[in-house]
Amino acid sequence: MNIFKYLSDKLSNALRNVSDQGRLTEVNIKETLREVRMALLEADVALQVVQDFISRVKDKALSNKVNNSLTPGQEFIKIVRIELVNAIGNNNNYLNLSTQPPAVVLIVGQQGVGKTTSVGKLGKYLRDTNNKKVLSVSADIYRPSAIKQLSILTHQAGIDFFSSQTYQKPVDIVNQALIQAKKNFYDVLLVDTAGRLHINDFMMNEIISIHAAIKPVETLFVVDAMTGQDIAKSAKVFNRVLPITGVILTKVDGNARCGAALSIRYLTGKPIKFLSLGEKLDTFEQFYPDRLVDRILGMGDVLSLIENIERKVDSVQANKLVSKLNHGDSFDMLDFLNQIKQIRNIGGMASMINKLPGMSKLPDSLKLQMHDNKILVRMEAIISSMTAQERSKPEIIKGSRKRRIAAGSGMQVQDVNRLLKQFEELQRMIKQMKNMKKRWNSKNDA
């Protein structure tokens, strides 16, 4: 998550000096906390959030429990982790859908924060992970393209869309959609609304009327993660007129600092429920405070990685490959191509690397190279330029064939050589694993 990279780098540097300390003193604790404080303020975290966080960490760090610990430096980092989790919400809060269907979810927020896209993403998420039958509707009559945009997004997401017109009243639109949702036994009705400023009384009264008409079980406030602390003011006003139940944080893949993300839970008292991580509809995940903090502190997020793989990897294709290898067949270029496509489907190497522990300690040059998802695109282009025979028997690829493949894929011959070398290394690894498995099985049989 690019938006947290700035803070992650700053905190890693601040905590590195104290992590291996055999003894903590008030001096080195204060010095470290001064650096942590600067890191949080520079990341645009709200001042009162920072002050409360630093105060809590300091009190716990100076306790006898930490000083008497065998690894006080590690104990200190543990305290920082716990208090960061507490600052952004100390537990996971999922949607409350335990009501007589359809469960109505109202999406609100300012203009340009990604509400309509969030409706499409949330609908796909509920369909894919919860097996919900979802209907969506747009009550945004002020932006001509809004209704059409949601229609396209919901079609791509594989959920249903209730058509509306710009000449209708928003309250009439949502009432008709609710009747349709009940009539056709939908599990969830997602309601997209127009972007509105909290200082516009007409628009705020309209959203109050919509809320009163459909009585949603969830009212989700959409926040652009690239916005600074000002978003908290808007959220507080929205929360005064509507019973907001949670937050969707969008544009988390951006390069801005993450002050809004770490401040909004503390300032509004409303939990972040979902993160929107990119432009594609499947870049949407449930929010877990502890997992996010682990990523920020460079501890990885293996659980989210596993969930992502389970959701996006083609299990049928994966099982075919396992069966093929178990039968003694060789791993060929077509298998390699399929694996590259699977990695790209998950979100590329960057998505996987960001969630692995210890990656923050790698040299920047190596991290930059590993984050280059274009490498996968180039590899796919090279394999796609091979004939069926070359994919099944890559050992026949020599001089003239290499030149033809390079030209066909728009690459250089050295790029083809690099791919073939990587493939050979992968083949060697698979062969070693198969031999180890054979030896293990024969040992157990004996």
**Contact criterion met (CB below 8 Å) for 170 and 146:** no
The more confidently predicted of residues 403 and 46 is 403
For residue 107, the model assigns a pLDDT of 94
Q: Is 387 annotated as a binding residue?
A: no
CATH class of 307-445: mainly alpha
pLDDT in tens, 375-428: 878 888 999 999 989 988 888 998 899 999 999 999 999 999 988 888 888 777
Q: Name the range with the highest mean pLDDT among 42-46, 87-91, 99-103.
A: 99-103
Q: Is 332 annotated as a binding residue?
A: no
Confidence check: pLDDT of 15 > 50: yes
Q: Is 300 annotated as a binding residue?
A: no
Distance CA 250, CA 32 (A): 32
Distance CA 83, CA 99 (A): 34
Percent of the chain with pLDDT over 90: 24
Q: DSSP character for 251?
A: -
Q: Is 196 annotated as a binding residue?
A: yes
Confidence check: pLDDT of 1 > 80: no
Confidence check: pLDDT of 193 > 80: yes
The more confidently predicted of residues 396 and 62 is 396
Q: Is 120 annotated as a binding residue?
A: no
Confidence check: pLDDT of 173 > 50: yes
Confidence check: pLDDT of 233 > 80: no
Provide the residue type at 416 as one letter: V
Q: Is 154 annotated as a binding residue?
A: no
For residue 300, the model assigns a pLDDT of 47
Contacts of 395 (CB under 8 A, 6+ apart): none
Q: Is 116 annotated as a binding residue?
A: yes
What are the extents of the domains in the chain? 2-88, 103-299, 307-445
Q: Is 194 annotated as a binding residue?
A: yes
Distance CA 359, CA 372 (A): 15
Cis status, amide bond into 102, omega within 30 of 0? yes
Q: DSSP character for 185?
A: T
Q: What is the pLDDT confidence band of residue 123, given thresholds at 50, 70 and 90?
A: very high
SS3 275: strand
Query: Among candidates 252, 305, 247, which has minimal Cα distance to 278?
Result: 252
Mean pLDDT of 240-263: 76
Contacts of 247 (CB under 8 A, 6+ apart): 220, 221, 222, 223, 235, 264, 265, 268, 270, 271, 272, 273
Helices within 278-411 (DSSP H only): 289-296, 302-312, 315-326, 333-346, 348-353, 364-370, 374-384, 388-392, 399-409
The more confidently predicted of residues 98 and 441 is 98
Q: What is the pLDDT confidence band of residue 105, given thresholds at 50, 70 and 90?
A: very high
For the domain bounded by 2-88, which CATH number is listed? 1.20.120.140
For residue 351, the model assigns a pLDDT of 56
Average pLDDT along the chain = 77
Mean pLDDT of 52-73: 71
Q: Is 113 annotated as a binding residue?
A: yes
Q: Is 192 annotated as a binding residue?
A: yes
Confidence check: pLDDT of 370 > 50: no
Tokens of 180: 């349709």
Q: What is the pLDDT confidence band of residue 302, given thresholds at 50, 70 and 90?
A: very low
User: In degrees to the nearest 10, what's the CA dihedral of 316, 318, 320, 326?
Assistant: -150
Q: Is 250 annotated as a binding residue?
A: yes
Q: Is 358 annotated as a binding residue?
A: no
Distance CA 381, CA 143 (A): 40
Angle at 237 between CA 234 and CA 242, to 5 degrees: 120
Confidence check: pLDDT of 67 > 60: no
- Residue 355's DSSP bridge partners are none
Q: Is 286 annotated as a binding residue?
A: no
For the domain bounded by 103-299, which CATH number is listed? 3.40.50.300
Q: Is 195 annotated as a binding residue?
A: yes
**Inter-residue long-range contacts of 339-345, CB under 8 Å, 24+ positions, other chains counted:** 340/376, 340/379, 340/380, 340/383, 341/380, 342/313, 342/314, 342/317, 342/318, 343/376, 344/373, 344/376, 344/377, 344/380, 345/312, 345/313, 345/314
For residue 119, the model assigns a pLDDT of 94
For residue 374, the model assigns a pLDDT of 76
Helices and strands in the chain: count of H runs, count of E runs: 21, 8
Position of tokens 């099944």? 392
For residue 103, the model assigns a pLDDT of 94
Query: Among candidates 85, 65, 84, which has minimal Cα distance to 75?
Result: 65
For residue 45, the model assigns a pLDDT of 78
**Contact criterion met (CB below 8 Å) for 357 and 397:** no
Q: Is 89 annotated as a binding residue?
A: no
Q: Is 119 annotated as a binding residue?
A: no
Q: Is 256 annotated as a binding residue?
A: no
Q: What is the pLDDT confidence band of residue 359, given thresholds at 50, 70 and 90?
A: very low
Confidence check: pLDDT of 353 > 70: no
For residue 301, the model assigns a pLDDT of 44
For residue 329, the model assigns a pLDDT of 60
Mean pLDDT of 23-51: 79
